[in-house]
A and B are shown apart, each in its own frame.
Chain A
């Protein structure tokens, strides 16, 4: 593995941290303490960590509604993440965005979008600004197989290609758009094949293999940085839980889910690390313990945090000179 040991161990820890974070949210849904609904990315940790590891911290990355993991992988503050999901004033968005609209601009993560499609076109505007800036940074956007069927997918890729933008489109194909299987609504085997229609590179990678994701993203990002224009990567993976937490999933069998779980990206990465002597069982357990501790601190922080005051209802609605610079 070409990455330094510390980086690999950090990637492993982040994957474990994301799973713990997501599972703690599932528990909160079960016990009724989490307001609204959440879309959990359990099983997709390799996507989030692989993508973020393949990008630079100076790149931008935005995404869709199933991406607590992506923002955590970006290095966002787990406390403010959790507080936001519980609608607390200490959250990243002061409790005004919630799970579906998390954003961490300090990590150049302008966030999730509750509407499927716009993040792809908005990414072009970010990429245009980065192109003008000329510092070699790129704008990446994650979206699902479902959002690949919006007109905006086509509009965005075509414009990005025409303007030769430093934009990377990453389709996370987890096989289901809510209940609808990709096989039933996609006319091609690989969504990445559509790249040909825009004259840009399109490649498929195993979304359950964090190193494969890392390599696909870092290699593609390199070519985009060189000014070769946008690209499309499709990461094939699966989600282990429902579309939203509590989804009874009548559209697939428990056996299918068990099959997906056999491809566990965390177990797979752990195997690779052990096999190649990068880590021992003891090291991996210690990393999990650290992640669990940080999660507990985030839970305590959220519980201690207050809800926003009523005045917050009208702040941030408009920019007013001198008031909110």
Chain B
């Protein structure tokens, strides 16, 4: 199968859906002729024109408000918020507006097709306001789905599924994955939201993660294999709603789990996964469930400090060894 990059896979999904459905339109800061600050929307303006690919002022609230209003009217807006760190200046729309409008009007509006694309993660040496992993905040919002792909294949399939979901979806792209390549079918395919995937089968311990950290878990599994430990690796893919079933099936088989996230440790997705394991698989556990996460401090600019602050493959291996005893 042909290989394309993570960025190309996202662009391919956008182009595919824009070609099929004239209600889909893309807008945000620098997404037009410039092609987006990371190049995701490159070429779309030239292909679909100024009515379908719109540059906006640096007005995140205006961007998100227009998205909610357009979705209410049956259009399918795909706004881009350049960094997830910038969702702080339009937080209301992702928490109070888009996720609540259908519910609070008693279902007078049925479909609310709105996919907000944004980027997250560190390792770009951009310090504390451009490097965060804030996905956990949004998993606390009823009415909002949160999706975070780890491979080009999933990036395309999950984005197409998000665009057809008719609910507000926060689709988070990890910047450090943008340049990674992988096999991606040319034809249309949808990866259902709310379904995790077993990326590698194993029997001794379950490593649970998503996005870039999923790859750290796969690396850790490979290292552990050399030491006779057969780790199973699960990619959550959708963070809200969580796929409790896949988690339970795996942990009840391996009896041990390590949950890994790039976000700050406090009150994040990893903590919620641990709760899911406690709820469904407590009696099957042979060891405490460990988490590996960013340290609870502000992401420092200086590269050695950033590397030390964010989770690493080594920390995942270490956590597994601690519970294997």
Chain A contacts to B: CB under 8 angstroms: 91-97, 101, 103-106, 110-111, 113-115, 117-118, 120-130, 132, 139, 151-152, 155-156, 158-159, 162-163, 315-319, 321, 324-325
Contact = CB atoms under 8 A, between A and B. Distances in A.
B105 A122 contact: no
A128 B70 CA distance: 7
B65 A316 contact: no
Interface residues of B, number: 42
B223 interface: no
Contacts, number: 142
B65 A94 contact: no
Contacts of A123: 65, 69
Interface in B71-88: 71-75, 77
Contacts of A139: 69
Contact of B106 (A94, A128, A159): A94
Given A106-B108, A115-B96, A316-B103, 10 more contacts: A101-B104, A105-B109, A111-B105, A122-B69, A123-B69, A124-B65, A124-B66, A129-B69, A130-B73, A319-B166
Interface stretch (B6-14, B55-63, B202-210, B226-234): B55-63
A156 B64 CA distance: 11
A65 to B, nearest CB: 13
B170 to A, nearest CB: 14
B143 A317 contact: yes
B200 interface: no
Interface in B96-121: 96-97, 101-112
9 contacts: A92-B108, A93-B105, A124-B62, A124-B69, A125-B73, A132-B51, A158-B57, A316-B107, A319-B102
Contact of A115 (B64, B97, B142): B97
B201 interface: no
Contact of B105 (A105, A315, A321): A105
B103 A122 contact: no
Instruction: Identify which of B103, B142, B143 gathers the most chain A CB atoms within 10 Å of its CB.
Output: B103
A144 to B, nearest CB: 17
B139 interface: no
Contacts of A94: 106-107
Contact of B102 (A113, A114, A156, A316): A316
Given A97-B104, A118-B92, A156-B65, A125 B57 contact: no
B78 to A, nearest CB: 13
A128 B69 contact: yes
A151 B54 CA distance: 21
Contacts of B178: none
